[in-house]
Structure 1
Amino acid sequence: MSQGQGFGFGLGKMRELTDAIKKAQQVQEGAKRLQEELEQMEIQGEAGGGLVKVTMSGNQEPLKVEISPDALKEDAETLSDLVLAATRAAYEQSTATMREKMEDLTGGLNLPGLG
């Protein structure tokens, strides 16, 4: 091994590693704040022109189901379909919001599992 070569880690590589560690720490801190923010969000999905509304948090926790008295005039199968459609709408909007916030947080980093 020649003088100053170390393990193939020059100062430039060491600086890159340090920068990567700092960025990872920033992302981790941001992820904690984001998780708290998502828990406080209320995202609503609806079906049947508002006959059924489902509210979820930003991290997909179901919070509330509202069924209009007019929806109770429907048969059980139709009401079930409305609840399912409203739940799917809330879920899709919640996951889209979470994905968008995570992309903002990571600032375009190419992190595995977040695509």
Structure 2
Amino acid sequence: MSQEKGKGFGFGLGKIKELQEAFKKAQQVQAGAQQLQEELEKMGIEGYSDEAKLVTVIISGNQEPRQVIISPDAMNNDPNALSELVTMAMKDAYNKSTETMREKMEVLTSGLNLPGM
């Protein structure tokens, strides 16, 4: 199994340039991902228990809990109902932060044709 002269390892000049471009794009995505991580950390995403906003949960874009705000009207509920309001607000904030991350990742990786993105 000898290689023909001039064939090297099967990488032509065009393949090397493609590889260099791929590395360049990967470095750009890595830098963008770090910037995105910092941006998400500074965000405050609000989730609500209901339209009346009896309970508000605020989390970062990285889904770190920041604050829970319980309105005086929510305090009129029994403990189980109040717990349910807090849970609904947490789920709303979580869903909003997940959607925000997904949208920002799509922008970051657009044009890269990454599988699964």
What range describes the TM-score normalised by the shorter chain of this pair?
over 0.9
Identical amino acids, percent of aligned pairs: 61
Alignment of 1:17-28 (within 5 A): 17-28=19-30
How far did 1:111 drift? 3.1
> 1:37-82 CA deviation, whole Å, 9 max, x = no partner?
0000000000132100000100111100000011000011110000
1:76 to 79, 85, 108: 79
Alignment TM-score, normalising by the size of structure 2: 0.93
Over the aligned positions, Cα root-mean-square deviation in angstroms equals 1.1
- For structure 2, list consecutive stretches of 5 or more residues without a partner in the other structure: none
Structure 2 residue aligned with 1:46:
48
- For structure 1, list consecutive stretches of 5 or more residues without a partner in the other structure: none
2:88 to 70, 75, 85: 85
User: Which consecutive aligned stretches of 4+ in structure 1 deviate over 2 angstroms post-superposition?
Assistant: 108-112
Alignment TM-score, normalising by the size of structure 1: 0.94
